[in-house]
């Protein structure tokens, strides 16, 4: 059974600081997704990581995937208040006919001045 663990679950940061969110998963998968969710809103796709060693960057966010370690990271550089949200990683359970997303519990990020 595929399980996805994120840590930390809560993260309070100061503006301008750097931090990393970790996403570990339990079985082999080569597809990992990062989403952002603002309160009361839907999920917004941030990154799609499809292979070992994949690295993608958008603004102050950078995501990477190490399939051998079953680990993805979401690195935040010089945080700003607008990044406050809940971030989810999700791994495709590709053992079936079509990968279903298995989600971590999310990391609630709060960026303070």
Partner 1 sequence: NAGVTQTPKFQVLKTGQSMTLQCAQDMNHEYMSWYRQDPGMGLRLIHYSVGAGITDQGEVPNGYNVSRSTTEDFPLRLLSAAPSQTSVYFCASSWTGARYGYTFGSGTRLTVV
Select 43 or 80, whichever has its Cβ closest to partner 1.
43
29 closest CA partner among 105, 107, 96: 96
**CB of 44 vs partner 1, minimal distance in Å:** 8
Element containing residue 6 per DSSP (H, E): strand 4-7
Q: Is 92 an interacting residue with respect to partner 1 (CB under 8 A)?
A: yes
Q: Is 50 an interacting residue with respect to partner 1 (CB under 8 A)?
A: yes
Tell me the C-alpha distance between 34 and 104, whole Å. Answer: 10
The footprint of partner 1 (CB under 8 A) covers 4, 31, 33, 35, 41-43, 45, 48, 50, 88, 90, 92, 97-106
């Amino acid at each position: 059974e595929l399980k996805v663990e994120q840590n930390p679950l809560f993260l309070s940061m100061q503006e301008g600081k750097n931090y990393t969110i970790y996403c570990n998963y339990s079985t082999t998968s080569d597809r990992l997704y990062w989403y952002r969710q603002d309160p009361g809103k839907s999920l917004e796709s941030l990154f799609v990581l499809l292979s070992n060693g994949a690295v993608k960057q958008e603004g102050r966010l950078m995501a990477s995937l190490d399939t051998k370690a079953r680990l993805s990271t979401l690195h935040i550089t010089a945080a700003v208040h607008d990044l406050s949200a809940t971030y989810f990683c999700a791994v495709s359970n590709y053992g079936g006919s079509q990968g279903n997303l298995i989600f971590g519990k999310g990391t609630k990020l709060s960026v303070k001045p």
